[in-house]
Amino acid sequence: MENKIENRNGLKKRLPAKERLISEILPNDIRVRILGTVIGGNENSIMVDDGSGRLEIVTDGQAADTGKMVRVVTRVLPVSGGFEARAECIQRMDGFDVELYRRAREVAKNI
């Protein structure tokens, strides 16, 4: 599936990244964004934990400090037996109120 859509002016733009918990990511997702804590990594990847699971994300050199909260926009690439996640953007979330965010997310689900 192509990762771009055409707008009303005939220009192509990226598909939006769907907000997901790690446990909700499906191999047929194209772009997702997750919010979690960096629990490890190396020069080519980071490991993120969002409370629902852990995900290794290929970063191609983008850095993120262990113990820091991040939002990651990632491409989901199907591979045999699952998927691979490749970071497009890593955003530091210093000072972000995670509990307020989770409560707001629950309220939004019930609307």
Given a contact cutoff of 8 angstroms between Cβ atoms, the answer to whether 14 and 3 are in contact is yes
Specify the pLDDT at position 7: 64
What structural domains does the chain harbor?
24-95 (2.40.50.140)
Specify the pLDDT at position 14: 81
Alpha carbons 95 and 28: distance in angstroms, whole number? 33
Report which of residues 32 and 6 the model is more confident about. 32
Q: What is the pLDDT of residues 49-63, one digit of tens each?
A: 999 999 999 998 888
Is the pLDDT at 44 greater than 80, yes or no? yes
Q: What is the pLDDT averaged over residues 12-23?
A: 89
pTM of the predicted protein model? 0.82
Given a contact cutoff of 8 angstroms between Cβ atoms, the answer to whether 75 and 88 are in contact is yes
Specify the pLDDT at position 99: 87
Alpha carbons 50 and 33: distance in angstroms, whole number? 11
Is the pLDDT at 1 greater than 60, yes or no? no
- Tell me which long-range contacts 92-100 makes (C-beta under 8 A, separation of at least 24): 92/64, 92/68, 93/35, 93/68, 93/69, 94/68, 94/69, 96/69, 98/35, 98/69
Is the pLDDT at 12 greater than 80, yes or no? no
Q: What is the pLDDT averaged over residues 16-32?
A: 93
